Amino acid sequence: MPPDMKGDASTGLERLWGDGHVRVFISHTSAHRWAATRIQEHLRGYGVATFVSHIDIEPMAEWELEIRRALLSAHALVALLTPDFPQSDWTDQEVGVTIGRGIPVIPVRLGHDPYGFIAKYQAISGSLADWPSVDRVAYDIFSAMLETEGIKESMKNMYVNAVRNSPNWITSNALAQFLPSIRSLTSAQAQTLVEAYNLNGEVSGSFGFKGSQRHGFSGGLAQHLTRITGEEYRLFPGPGGGVMLGSTRELDALWPFGPPEPSVR
Protein backbone atom coordinates (compact mmCIF):
# COMPACT_ATOMS: atom_id res chain seq x y z
CA MET A 1 0.00 0.00 0.00
CA PRO A 2 1.41 3.43 -0.88
CA PRO A 3 2.67 5.25 2.23
CA ASP A 4 0.19 8.09 1.81
CA MET A 5 -2.86 5.80 1.46
CA LYS A 6 -4.09 6.78 4.92
CA GLY A 7 -4.35 10.42 3.97
CA ASP A 8 -2.27 13.56 3.83
CA ALA A 9 -2.80 16.70 5.88
CA SER A 10 -1.41 18.93 3.16
CA THR A 11 -3.84 21.68 2.30
CA GLY A 12 -2.86 21.43 -1.35
CA LEU A 13 -3.64 17.70 -1.54
CA GLU A 14 -6.90 18.15 0.33
CA ARG A 15 -7.88 20.77 -2.21
CA LEU A 16 -7.02 18.42 -5.07
CA TRP A 17 -8.59 15.29 -3.64
CA GLY A 18 -11.02 16.14 -0.87
CA ASP A 19 -11.37 13.60 1.93
CA GLY A 20 -11.63 10.33 -0.03
CA HIS A 21 -9.58 7.39 1.24
CA VAL A 22 -8.55 6.14 -2.22
CA ARG A 23 -7.33 8.68 -4.80
CA VAL A 24 -7.77 7.95 -8.49
CA PHE A 25 -6.44 10.00 -11.42
CA ILE A 26 -8.71 9.73 -14.48
CA SER A 27 -6.63 10.04 -17.67
CA HIS A 28 -8.70 11.12 -20.68
CA THR A 29 -8.59 13.22 -23.83
CA SER A 30 -10.17 16.65 -23.94
CA ALA A 31 -12.79 15.46 -26.42
CA HIS A 32 -14.11 13.02 -23.83
CA ARG A 33 -14.02 15.21 -20.74
CA TRP A 34 -17.80 14.92 -20.48
CA ALA A 35 -17.49 11.16 -19.95
CA ALA A 36 -14.62 11.58 -17.47
CA THR A 37 -16.76 14.03 -15.50
CA ARG A 38 -19.70 11.64 -15.41
CA ILE A 39 -17.48 8.78 -14.23
CA GLN A 40 -15.95 11.07 -11.61
CA GLU A 41 -19.39 11.90 -10.24
CA HIS A 42 -20.23 8.22 -9.82
CA LEU A 43 -16.91 7.29 -8.20
CA ARG A 44 -17.13 10.21 -5.80
CA GLY A 45 -20.63 9.09 -4.92
CA TYR A 46 -19.16 5.73 -3.89
CA GLY A 47 -16.52 7.48 -1.75
CA VAL A 48 -13.54 7.47 -4.14
CA ALA A 49 -11.51 10.68 -4.44
CA THR A 50 -10.95 11.43 -8.12
CA PHE A 51 -8.98 13.94 -10.18
CA VAL A 52 -10.11 15.11 -13.62
CA SER A 53 -7.81 17.87 -14.81
CA HIS A 54 -10.31 20.24 -16.43
CA ILE A 55 -12.54 20.05 -13.33
CA ASP A 56 -10.10 20.02 -10.44
CA ILE A 57 -7.54 22.66 -11.41
CA GLU A 58 -8.42 26.05 -9.97
CA PRO A 59 -8.41 29.11 -12.25
CA MET A 60 -4.96 30.72 -12.44
CA ALA A 61 -3.25 27.63 -11.02
CA GLU A 62 -0.23 26.36 -12.88
CA TRP A 63 -2.06 23.50 -14.54
CA GLU A 64 1.00 21.43 -15.38
CA LEU A 65 2.16 21.60 -11.75
CA GLU A 66 -1.31 20.64 -10.52
CA ILE A 67 -1.44 17.63 -12.84
CA ARG A 68 1.99 16.55 -11.66
CA ARG A 69 0.97 16.87 -8.01
CA ALA A 70 -2.15 14.80 -8.64
CA LEU A 71 -0.16 12.11 -10.46
CA LEU A 72 2.42 11.91 -7.69
CA SER A 73 -0.19 11.63 -4.94
CA ALA A 74 -2.70 9.31 -6.66
CA HIS A 75 -3.15 5.72 -5.52
CA ALA A 76 -4.26 4.49 -8.95
CA LEU A 77 -4.93 5.71 -12.50
CA VAL A 78 -7.91 4.95 -14.72
CA ALA A 79 -7.07 5.28 -18.44
CA LEU A 80 -10.09 5.96 -20.67
CA LEU A 81 -8.74 4.39 -23.88
CA THR A 82 -10.77 6.18 -26.54
CA PRO A 83 -9.55 6.09 -30.20
CA ASP A 84 -7.80 9.46 -29.77
CA PHE A 85 -6.02 8.49 -26.52
CA PRO A 86 -2.61 7.75 -28.13
CA GLN A 87 -2.64 11.08 -29.99
CA SER A 88 -2.91 13.17 -26.83
CA ASP A 89 0.12 15.16 -25.73
CA TRP A 90 -0.49 14.20 -22.11
CA THR A 91 -2.21 10.84 -21.65
CA ASP A 92 0.83 8.66 -22.39
CA GLN A 93 2.90 10.77 -20.01
CA GLU A 94 0.28 10.39 -17.30
CA VAL A 95 0.28 6.62 -17.75
CA GLY A 96 4.09 6.57 -17.79
CA VAL A 97 4.37 8.46 -14.50
CA THR A 98 1.88 6.04 -12.93
CA ILE A 99 3.78 2.96 -14.11
CA GLY A 100 7.03 4.51 -12.91
CA ARG A 101 5.54 4.96 -9.45
CA GLY A 102 4.46 1.32 -9.39
CA ILE A 103 0.81 2.01 -8.61
CA PRO A 104 -2.15 0.33 -10.32
CA VAL A 105 -3.31 1.27 -13.81
CA ILE A 106 -6.89 0.34 -14.74
CA PRO A 107 -7.35 0.50 -18.53
CA VAL A 108 -10.85 0.94 -19.92
CA ARG A 109 -11.21 -0.17 -23.55
CA LEU A 110 -13.43 2.45 -25.20
CA GLY A 111 -12.49 1.97 -28.83
CA HIS A 112 -8.77 1.39 -28.36
CA ASP A 113 -6.94 -1.63 -26.93
CA PRO A 114 -4.33 -1.27 -24.18
CA TYR A 115 -0.91 -0.72 -25.76
CA GLY A 116 2.71 -0.24 -24.78
CA PHE A 117 3.43 -0.74 -21.11
CA ILE A 118 -0.25 -1.17 -20.22
CA ALA A 119 -0.90 -3.92 -22.78
CA LYS A 120 -0.30 -6.49 -20.04
CA TYR A 121 -3.14 -5.19 -17.86
CA GLN A 122 -6.61 -6.73 -17.95
CA ALA A 123 -8.84 -4.06 -19.46
CA ILE A 124 -12.45 -3.21 -18.73
CA SER A 125 -14.52 -3.05 -21.93
CA GLY A 126 -17.16 -0.39 -22.28
CA SER A 127 -18.86 2.19 -24.45
CA LEU A 128 -19.53 5.92 -24.34
CA ALA A 129 -22.52 5.64 -26.69
CA ASP A 130 -24.99 7.11 -24.20
CA TRP A 131 -25.38 8.05 -20.53
CA PRO A 132 -26.39 4.55 -19.36
CA SER A 133 -23.29 3.14 -21.07
CA VAL A 134 -21.05 5.64 -19.27
CA ASP A 135 -22.78 4.86 -15.98
CA ARG A 136 -22.02 1.18 -16.55
CA VAL A 137 -18.35 2.01 -17.17
CA ALA A 138 -18.23 3.79 -13.79
CA TYR A 139 -19.81 0.76 -12.12
CA ASP A 140 -17.30 -1.60 -13.76
CA ILE A 141 -14.37 0.61 -12.72
CA PHE A 142 -15.45 0.58 -9.07
CA SER A 143 -16.05 -3.19 -9.21
CA ALA A 144 -12.56 -3.76 -10.61
CA MET A 145 -10.99 -1.50 -7.98
CA LEU A 146 -12.46 -3.67 -5.21
CA GLU A 147 -10.07 -6.46 -6.26
CA THR A 148 -7.14 -4.46 -7.68
CA GLU A 149 -3.83 -5.26 -6.00
CA GLY A 150 -2.36 -2.32 -4.15
CA ILE A 151 -5.68 -0.64 -3.35
CA LYS A 152 -8.17 -3.44 -2.73
CA GLU A 153 -7.93 -3.48 1.08
CA SER A 154 -8.44 0.27 1.30
CA MET A 155 -11.28 0.00 -1.23
CA LYS A 156 -13.00 -2.71 0.79
CA ASN A 157 -12.56 -0.81 4.04
CA MET A 158 -14.14 2.20 2.34
CA TYR A 159 -16.93 0.02 0.98
CA VAL A 160 -17.90 -1.66 4.24
CA ASN A 161 -17.87 1.69 6.04
CA ALA A 162 -20.11 3.15 3.33
CA VAL A 163 -22.53 0.26 3.90
CA ARG A 164 -22.43 0.76 7.66
CA ASN A 165 -23.26 4.46 7.25
CA SER A 166 -25.79 4.10 4.43
CA PRO A 167 -28.46 6.81 4.90
CA ASN A 168 -31.30 5.22 2.92
CA TRP A 169 -32.52 2.19 0.97
CA ILE A 170 -31.57 3.73 -2.37
CA THR A 171 -27.93 4.05 -1.33
CA SER A 172 -27.98 0.56 0.19
CA ASN A 173 -29.34 -0.98 -3.01
CA ALA A 174 -26.68 0.85 -5.05
CA LEU A 175 -23.94 -0.50 -2.76
CA ALA A 176 -25.40 -4.03 -2.77
CA GLN A 177 -24.85 -4.26 -6.52
CA PHE A 178 -21.09 -4.53 -5.88
CA LEU A 179 -21.34 -7.60 -3.62
CA PRO A 180 -20.87 -10.07 -6.53
CA SER A 181 -17.55 -8.35 -7.38
CA ILE A 182 -16.01 -9.04 -3.95
CA ARG A 183 -13.91 -12.19 -3.79
CA SER A 184 -12.36 -11.84 -0.34
CA LEU A 185 -12.88 -10.01 2.95
CA THR A 186 -10.96 -9.89 6.20
CA SER A 187 -12.80 -11.13 9.28
CA ALA A 188 -13.07 -7.51 10.44
CA GLN A 189 -14.60 -6.40 7.12
CA ALA A 190 -17.10 -9.26 7.18
CA GLN A 191 -18.03 -8.42 10.76
CA THR A 192 -18.55 -4.76 9.82
CA LEU A 193 -21.04 -5.84 7.15
CA VAL A 194 -22.87 -8.07 9.64
CA GLU A 195 -23.07 -5.22 12.13
CA ALA A 196 -24.25 -2.86 9.40
CA TYR A 197 -27.08 -5.25 8.57
CA ASN A 198 -28.08 -5.75 12.20
CA LEU A 199 -27.81 -2.13 13.35
CA ASN A 200 -28.78 -0.06 10.29
CA GLY A 201 -32.37 -0.50 9.16
CA GLU A 202 -31.57 1.25 5.89
CA VAL A 203 -29.31 -1.71 5.09
CA SER A 204 -31.44 -4.59 6.38
CA GLY A 205 -34.56 -3.06 4.82
CA SER A 206 -33.07 -2.82 1.34
CA PHE A 207 -33.79 -5.43 -1.32
CA GLY A 208 -30.12 -5.69 -2.20
CA PHE A 209 -28.85 -6.70 1.23
CA LYS A 210 -31.97 -8.52 2.39
CA GLY A 211 -32.13 -10.67 -0.71
CA SER A 212 -35.92 -10.78 -0.77
CA GLN A 213 -36.05 -9.49 -4.34
CA ARG A 214 -33.29 -11.17 -6.33
CA HIS A 215 -33.76 -9.41 -9.67
CA GLY A 216 -30.87 -7.03 -10.23
CA PHE A 217 -29.17 -7.77 -6.90
CA SER A 218 -27.80 -11.35 -7.19
CA GLY A 219 -28.93 -12.50 -3.76
CA GLY A 220 -28.61 -10.95 -0.33
CA LEU A 221 -25.75 -10.30 2.07
CA ALA A 222 -26.04 -13.71 3.76
CA GLN A 223 -25.53 -15.51 0.44
CA HIS A 224 -22.53 -13.39 -0.50
CA LEU A 225 -20.83 -13.63 2.90
CA THR A 226 -21.17 -17.42 2.67
CA ARG A 227 -19.55 -17.38 -0.77
CA ILE A 228 -16.78 -14.95 0.19
CA THR A 229 -15.79 -16.33 3.61
CA GLY A 230 -16.56 -20.03 3.17
CA GLU A 231 -18.57 -19.90 6.40
CA GLU A 232 -22.34 -20.28 6.25
CA TYR A 233 -24.36 -17.15 7.07
CA ARG A 234 -28.11 -16.95 7.41
CA LEU A 235 -30.94 -14.81 8.71
CA PHE A 236 -32.50 -15.65 12.07
CA PRO A 237 -35.17 -14.19 14.38
CA GLY A 238 -33.99 -11.16 16.31
CA PRO A 239 -35.35 -9.14 19.24
CA GLY A 240 -38.84 -7.70 18.90
CA GLY A 241 -39.78 -9.92 15.98
CA GLY A 242 -37.07 -8.56 13.72
CA VAL A 243 -34.57 -10.44 11.59
CA MET A 244 -30.81 -10.53 12.17
CA LEU A 245 -27.83 -11.85 10.26
CA GLY A 246 -25.22 -14.19 11.67
CA SER A 247 -23.06 -17.19 10.91
CA THR A 248 -24.30 -20.74 11.45
CA ARG A 249 -21.60 -21.10 14.08
CA GLU A 250 -23.14 -18.23 16.03
CA LEU A 251 -26.63 -19.65 15.56
CA ASP A 252 -25.56 -23.06 16.86
CA ALA A 253 -24.21 -21.39 20.00
CA LEU A 254 -27.49 -19.51 20.54
CA TRP A 255 -29.91 -22.30 19.54
CA PRO A 256 -28.36 -25.79 19.76
CA PHE A 257 -31.55 -27.28 18.31
CA GLY A 258 -31.88 -24.69 15.58
CA PRO A 259 -33.82 -21.42 15.45
CA PRO A 260 -37.16 -21.08 13.70
CA GLU A 261 -37.07 -19.91 10.12
CA PRO A 262 -37.40 -16.11 9.78
CA SER A 263 -40.20 -14.54 7.79
CA VAL A 264 -38.62 -12.32 5.13
CA ARG A 265 -41.02 -10.15 3.17
Q: In the prediction, which pLDDT does 38 show?
A: 96
Segment holding 215, helix H or strand E: none
Q: With a cut of 80, say whether residue 6 has pLDDT above it.
A: no
**Mean pLDDT (the chain, rounded):** 87
pLDDT tens for each residue of 125-154 = 999 999 999 999 999 999 999 999 999 999
Residue ranges per structural domain of the chain: 11-145, 156-254
Burial class (CB in 10 A: 0-12, 13-18, 19+), 135: middle
Mean pLDDT confidence for 230-254:
82
Give the CA-trace dihedral at 148, 150, 156, 157, to 10 degrees: -170
pLDDT tens for each residue of 47-89 = 999 999 865 445 445 778 888 999 999 999 999 999 999 999 8
Q: Are 45 and 20 in contact (CB under 8 A)?
A: no
pLDDT tier, 223 (very low <50, low <70, confident <90, very high otherwise)? very high
Burial class (CB in 10 A: 0-12, 13-18, 19+), 121: middle
Domain with residues 11-145, CATH architecture: 3-Layer(aba) Sandwich (3.40)
Q: What is the three-class DSSP state of 161?
A: helix
Tell me how far apart the alpha carbons of residues 137 and 143 are, in angstroms, rounded to a whole number: 10
pLDDT tier, 158 (very low <50, low <70, confident <90, very high otherwise)? very high
